[in-house]
Structure 1
C-alpha cells in the first residue's frame, strides 16, 4: 500500500535517510527543507509555517498518511528554539487535519537524548506555554550569559513533554493517530561533523554521550525507527519517546522509569 509522508528536514541527515528509505519502499514523500525539497520554507518564521501547510495541502490534494516533524538545529542560537520546538509543533498541528482521510494516520517528531542533560527550566516553560516571544527572549538571555549550550537540550525536552501531554488527547489518540517521538544519540550527520570527524573527537563526545551499544550510529538507524513509528503496523504506541542512542538513556537514567 502506497502511503504519503511529509518529512521536514528532508534535505540532509536523518530526514534525508528517512525520505530515501520510505521512497525505496514505494511510498510518496513530500520533502520539506530550506533547499533541495518539494516544499522550501523557513520554519523559524510564522510565514514559513503557514506556507508549509498551504504547499503540502496543494501537493497532497488535502490528504496525507503521516507527518514526520524532523527538522531541527543544534546551534547556540534563538533559531534553534524557533525550529526545534515551535516549528515542530506548527508542523504537527498544522498538518494534522490532512491526516483525517488516511486509513492509518501516523505522526512522529525528532527529540534527542540531549533532553536528558541539564536544561533551562524557564526556556522549557516558555515553550510549553506556547509563548514564542518569551522563549526567544530567554534564549537570547542564555546566549548573553554564556549559557547557550542549554538551548538545544531545553528545546528537545520541551518537545518530548509536548508529545507526552498531547498524544492521548482527543485530537490525536481520539482521532486514531499514534503520536510518538524518537530520541537519537550521536548520529553521524553534517550536524555532528565536529564531534565525529576524527577519532579523538569521537572519543571526547562519547565521554559525554555514552553509547556502549555499537557506538555512534548512522542516520539510517534512526530512519528505520521513524519508518516503523509511522507505519501501518504501529497501531498502539502512544506518546512514547523512543531512545535510539546506543544505551545513553540506560547509562544516564538507569531504572528511573519505575
Structure 2
C-alpha cells in the first residue's frame, strides 16, 4: 500500500468545511498527509477530524489564494470550493452567472496557476485534483452557469496537464455524480426529481461524500504517477447508463 501513502505530503483542500471537501480532507489525512482545510466559513470540525489546520479563503475573490503557495510548500491542491445557482435559462441573472463562474472556474484556474508557479519554481512537482461534475459532460437543467463552469473545469484540467505533465505536476479531476450534499438538497427535496434521478443511477442510491475521498487519495498518491488530464467519474454508473 506504500504507493497510496501520502506521508510527508502537505495538502490544501478548498471548500473543506463540509460535504465532499471535508470527506476528501479526512481521506487525505488518513493516508498520512498534513491537511490545510480552506474555506470562507469555519473549518473547525474538519480540523478536529484531520488534526490539520485551517485557512480562511473566500473564493468570491478569484485571486484569494494568489499568495498562499509562496509562503510554504504545498504538495497537493484539491480545488473543491464551489457554489450553485438554480433558475430557468430565460430567468437567469447576470449576477448569478458571474458569482458561479468566479468561484467555480476563475478562482479554480488562478489557484492552480499560483500552485503551479510555486511548484515549478521549487522543482518539486505536485498534484492537483479539481472537482468537476457530471455537468462537465452533460447539460443538466436550470443551472446554466454551473454547467458552463464545470465544462470549463474539465478543459482547464486537460490544458494544465498538457503544460505541466512533463514538469512533475499531475493535474486531474474527479466528476462526482449525485452526492448527498448541501448543493443537492433542493433536488432531494423534490420528490419527482429525486425519484427520476434514483431510477437512472445503476448503483440505486445517491452517493455519499465519502465515496469521493478514495478517488482523491488515489489521484494525489504515487499510484497515479502516470495519470494526467483524467476526469475520473465517481457517479454510481450514471454516465454509463
**TM-score range for the pair, normalised by the shorter chain length:** 0.7 to 0.9
Shift in Å, 1:200: 5.5
CA distance in 2, matches of 1:189, 1:201: 16
Contact residue 124 and residue 168 of structure 2 kept, 8 A = no
Name segments (4+ residues, structure 1) moved above 6 Å: none
Shift in Å, 1:215: 2.3
Question: Which residue of 211, 217, 234 corresponds with 1:244?
Answer: 234
Contact residue 39 and residue 55 of structure 1 kept, 8 A = no
Long gaps (5+) in structure 2? 1-6, 44-53, 87-95
Say whether 1:163 aligns with 2:157. Answer: yes
Say whether 1:69 aligns with 2:79. Answer: yes
Shift in Å, 1:82: 0.7
CA distance in 2, matches of 1:198, 1:5: 36
Long gaps (5+) in structure 1? 120-146, 252-258
Contact residue 33 and residue 41 of structure 1 kept, 8 A = yes
| TM-score normalised per structure 1 | 0.75
Q: Which residue of 2 aligns with 1:150?
A: 144
Describe the superposition over 1:27-67 as per-residue Cα deviations: whole angstroms up to 9, x where unpaired. 11111110114221221224xx2x42324543xx2x11111
Report the aligned-residue RMSD. Answer: 2.2
CA distance in 2, matches of 1:184, 1:44: 22
Contact residue 39 and residue 56 of structure 1 kept, 8 A = no
Q: What is the number of residues matched between the two proteins? A: 214
| TM-score normalised per structure 2 | 0.80
